[in-house]
Structure 1
Amino acid sequence: MRCLYDVLNVTNDADDTQLKKAYRQAALQWHPDKNQERQQEAEVRFKEIQNAYEILSDKHERAWYDSHRAQILRADGNYQAGGGGFSSDEAAPPEDLSLYQYFSSSCYNSYNDDPKGFYTVYREVFEGLSKHESEAAERTGKKGPSPASFGLSDSPWSEVSAFYRYWLQFVSDREFGWADVHNLASAPNRKVRRLMEEDNKKRRRGARREFQENVRSLVEFVRKRDRRVAAWQQQEELNKQQRLAAEAQRKEEERLQRIQRAREYEDAAWVDAGATDEDSHDEELVLAQDELYCVACDKFFKSANALANHEKSKKHLERAEALRDAMQEEEDALSPIAESDAENEALADTTLWL
């Protein structure tokens, strides 16, 4: 596995502009369409260039790569997809702890369930991890939720989301005994033995922490490239836009209803103004009710105090402002028509006078 900086022919401190320029040059040079005479080699190099730029252009993935570059470059090619088994021997670091070779698109060929496909490769990786975690939990007597499967390319979102929920919070049950550097049996006395034991525990904790961080980083790496996740995010965005459109339509309908109620209220007021004295006594109760009615909120109140308190509320003030704006828009729309009618009437009067 080549260093990603060497793949793009840039230095370790290259900025985003330099990375982009180097990527374009390398991609143009090794594009399969421009290398028909060496098609297979060009496809491999072009994929390697894409992978290098994809990682180095992401600040989080680049930071992780920079801090683990030595281990990644030492990763044995025998551990590549389909390269063989996992070991449970705790005398040395188990082979399945070497996850660095899977932080590259070179470990899979396509996004399908073929033997070298994206979903087969990573399914086998996490199945191997799950197997050893289950064995470790059984040895230590720990009981917890079973590791979630990575699934297939067409797995439902419920299974996909369960996988990422589990592995993004992964905690290992392994003992990490291979990280010990002291043989307690060689301790000359209890004090030295205790110091040796504390140092071994510290090294085990460090090995556990590093392994867990590597697993979670691999899960993030995979999630970013998982097309099932991309499809779900796209559908969620579509659903969000539909909800926003429905909410906007609902608010518009409410605005039109408030305008209609305001017009009806004004019409009723004109009718009341033309009523006779004989009708005034019968309509006193209705007028009293109208006085305790909030047009903006379409709500009646039992007393003047209740109405007064309501008119001071933030919700009322917002609705009243919205109603005034809507009525002003309506008035502005009708004003040119009214002015035209007035001009016509004046012209008619002038013609009649002549």
Structure 2
Amino acid sequence: MSHYVPLVASVKVKLPALPESWAADKTHQVSSTLETPATRSFEPVGAGYISRLVHPTRCPIAEAVNGSGAAVAAKDEMAGLNPRFDELYDESVPEALLAADPAEYRTLDMYQILGLGNLRRAATEADIRTAHRRRVLVHHPDKQAQALTGDTRDNFFKCIQRALDVLVDPTLRMHFDSCDPTFNERLPAATLPAKADFFEVYGPVFAANAHFSVRQPVPALGNMDTPLDEVQAFYEFWYAFESWRVFNWRDKEGTMSDGGSRDDKRWTDQQNRRAREEAKTKDNARLRTLVDQAAALDPRMKLLREAEKKRREEQKRSRQQSRAGAAGALAAQKAAAEKAAAEKAAAEAAEAAAQKAAAAAAAEAERKGREDRKKIAKKERKTLRGLMRDHACFLSGEEASPLSKAHQQATINLELFLEKYDVMDLEKLNRAIEAASDFAAKGALYFAALDATLGTAEASRNAATAAAAAAAAASTATAAAAAAPEWTDAHRKVLVHAIKTFPGGTTERWTKITEHVNTQCSTTFTEKQVVAESKAMESGVGSVTMTDLQFERRQGEVKIADAPTQRSDLTDADMRNTTAPASTETPWSAAELDTLVHALRTVPATDADRWGKIAAFLPDRPRQSITAKIKELHAMKQQK
């Protein structure tokens, strides 16, 4: 329920004259008694009460006296309630505001519209609402119907409502106060005019900008009597000044109601945001420039700088005197320090040299260890290859033949095994195989290690084959150990051919010569037996005296004692130019093709004597036939 304030008015009424028959002592009657006072409750009802609720400021008595003078009555009603407000409130309205367009409200002064131009940011919410009430009572279209015509009165009333909406909303009021048209952003000149007082020039500027500080209260600029610590605190505050000022009030409005699309509105928002950021940056730079100028012109800061300069000079003078008085002590200390530094450097150099020597010795020991391990690895691998060669890869029957697929696969598995097996374990394995009593035990040891290292089915199959042929292998090994095979002229002829095929400098030359002799002659000569027979033939011992078996060491002049042989260093181009074998050549068997493929995979392309070594795998085939078959296989592969 609205609070009703009674209004008392003085009314002058002319009373009629008294009748002639009236007499004060006759017509006048005085009641002898009064009724006893009683308290009664009344309920406000009726059309008059409802009208008062709807129009709480309407005063029937005032209207009766002054006609349509509600504004005057309202003014009299509120007069004296807030003396400060009554003194600062401005009733006048400029003509420009009366004709202002409400749509352009961002260009108007919201405080001036409500008559609060003298209060502005100091106006409270109560002041704003009181000013709005007074403005509405005076400028409501119903109250100004006699004085104004057209849209003007309605437009200014809309401006009043807009001003109330902006100033009572904290966010909107902050936006308007940030862009208050009466706020002067200009800074004083960088140099003070002659006879100008610094505090009179910069004091109001700092006071005006202090309103935008987030931290309150803001220290004042002060005067020449302000303590220097407060002066330093003042400038430290302003150098770390944090402003709440924003520039949303300057945004350009663009909505879809204006006929624009969502893209246009989004573009307008982006432009407004960019403009606000630029304005904020400029305002921060303006404040920093203000503080820099003030610090440079402030006479108190000059005193501070001079005092700081004197203090530094005094410190410098004191240090110089101290250094002059303690020159001898400093020199002694310096000499002692230099001596200690030299001793320390010498000790560090000796320690570094010792560490370097120790590191070099450790590196040399590591290198020798690696070389020893390499020698051991090479020796043990050679030993295992010899064991595999001497025992036909621990195979028996037809699989023991070097031309069999099992023997070739066993050779490949051996190389893979040697690449992956540890050197120390390899040494133990070789000793165990050498110490084993029979063929079966040796094979079981090897195949167990092979299966554990490679995990191949071939290793398991070889182990099973070796175990199944244990008895036959044992008897064969016993017979071979009892009587070594005898050398015949045919064996020696093959040996001479192998020696010429694998000349001096060939890697593992005697191993390859032994394999060649055993492959061609189906024998089981060991490497030692082949070397011994070769030396016997070289010294002239033996039954073979034919000229084509003679050979000499290459010392000085090279003597050719045998017929010319085929070249063993054919290149890929030579192989392509080689003529195909005659049509009467025996067809290639499947076993020969497998052996040829195995030879191509075994002998690397970088080997200088590759084609001679490949031909050694197929002694029954001439080299031209082998190169022709390789060319044919290559062409078949390209056609696929």
User: Which structure's CA Rg is the greater one?
Assistant: 2
Q: With structure 1 as the length reference, what TM-score do the two structures score?
A: 0.41
Higher helix share: 1
Q: With structure 2 as the length reference, what TM-score do the two structures score?
A: 0.24
Whose relative contact order is higher, 1 or 2, with alpha carbons under 8 Å and at least 6 apart? 1
